[in-house]
Copies of this chain bind each other. A is one copy, B any other.
Amino acid sequence: MNIYDIAQIAGVSIATVSRVVNDSPRVSEKTKRKVRAIMEEYGYTPNVFARGLGLDSMKTIGIICPDVSDAYMADAVAHLERGLHEYGYDCILCCSGYKQLNKEKYVSLLLAKRIDALILVGSTYAGEEESQVKYLHEAAKRLPVFLINGYVEGEDIYCAYGDDWAVTYDVTGKMIESGRKRILFLCDSHSYSANQKLAGYEAALRDHGLPVLGDLKLYVKNRIHTVRDILLERRDLKFDSVVASDDGLAVGAIKYANAKLLKVPEDLCITGFNNSVLSTCCEPELSSVDNRVEELCRLTIEHTMMVLQGKKEEVPLKSQVPCRLVKRCTTDF
């Protein structure tokens, strides 16, 4: 059943049917009703390919994230999908992993699919150096690119991210003010956001007259037991508190504390990041920074729609959303 069939049955031209489908004002109400009734009766659905050919758009948005099985990204993807769907857009989801080559491959693959916009979730896409974000600039020449949780400067690259620096500065400061002197910084990558957190942590130490010690900056794989075991093995490492860049790492620290029978937060004060289920699952429950994914996604969707509607002048290239610490049982401030 195609537009020709409908036209014939309705006794009008395909142009008219097309206008009805697109709800053009230049068709009489009477004709509209008639044609609609027939489309309904025969269960006609316009062919998306033919439509795409003409309009060069399929109302589809590409979402790339390193790995949806990560709770934070899954959450983001869920919010994005829901929101975009409300605007009549579908989502093609791609999990690129963390390797540069694959990120680039996925982007060009999506470009070939003629998606309407590209949304990248995760600060890994912000790259560590200019050469790593070149592909984003290239992509941005063809369609609007949106980054969640990272910042890349460039025309038509719109970024939404939390103030990781500020919140980490703040949390670290509070730890110091509550008497901690040796704060361990736990991290699992060198992404944009990880670097922001690290910088905030270091600034807080400096501003409070504490030394920035290389030993106390630990890069570990984000697996609970791995973190616990590494901390247990490093008997040389002395610390009275932990600022972790992810809940998984923080829970590893909690497991370490439990294993060593340390009192939390008295002997070891711990904060995580992302405010995921993990933080209410562990024991004691984890104080964690809420990165406000929902808000970041909301903003991104809003911006995407504005840009797609040609109002890109009204959309800021960078949008920062304030994070906030959700206090539970692993902090005493």
B contact residues around A46 at 8 Å (CB): 112
Q: Report the separation of the CA atoms of residues A114 and B60 in the bound assembly, to the nearest whole angstrom.
A: 13
A45 proximal to B (CB < 8 A): yes
The residue in chain B whose Cβ has the minimal distance to the Cβ of A111 is B45
Contact of A53 among B47, B90, B251 (CB under 8 A): B47
Contact of A93 among B71, B77, B248, B282 (CB under 8 A): B77
Given contacts A49-B56, A282-B281, contact A91 B93 (CB under 8 A): yes
The residue in chain B whose Cβ has the minimal distance to the Cβ of A81 is B95
Contact residues of A between 244 and 290, Cβ < 8 Å to B = 248, 251, 255, 258, 277-278, 280-283
A248 → chain B closest CB, angstroms: 8
**How many A residues face the partner with a CB closer than 8 A?**
48
A321 proximal to B (CB < 8 A): no
B contact residues around A109 at 8 Å (CB): 90
B contact residues around A282 at 8 Å (CB): 281-283
A58 proximal to B (CB < 8 A): yes
Contact of A49 among B75, B79, B95, B114 (CB under 8 A): B114
The residue in chain B whose Cβ has the minimal distance to the Cβ of A71 is B71
A134 proximal to B (CB < 8 A): no
A307 → chain B closest CB, angstroms: 21
For the complex formed by this chain, how many copies does it contain in all? 2
A101 proximal to B (CB < 8 A): no
The residue in chain B whose Cβ has the minimal distance to the Cβ of A286 is B281
A210 proximal to B (CB < 8 A): no
A318 proximal to B (CB < 8 A): no
Chain A interface (Cβ within 8 Å of chain B)? 45-50, 52-53, 56, 58, 60, 63, 67-71, 74-75, 77-79, 81-82, 85, 90-95, 109, 111-114, 224-225, 248, 251, 255, 258, 277-278, 280-283
- Extra 11 A-B pairs, beta carbons < 8 Å, given A48-B113, A283-B283: A48-B112, A60-B92, A69-B71, A69-B78, A71-B74, A78-B95, A81-B95, A91-B92, A224-B280, A225-B280, A255-B283
10 nearest A-B pairs in the assembled complex, by CB-CB distance: A49-B52, A74-B74, A283-B283, A69-B78, A93-B93, A49-B53, A281-B281, A45-B112, A68-B78, A69-B75
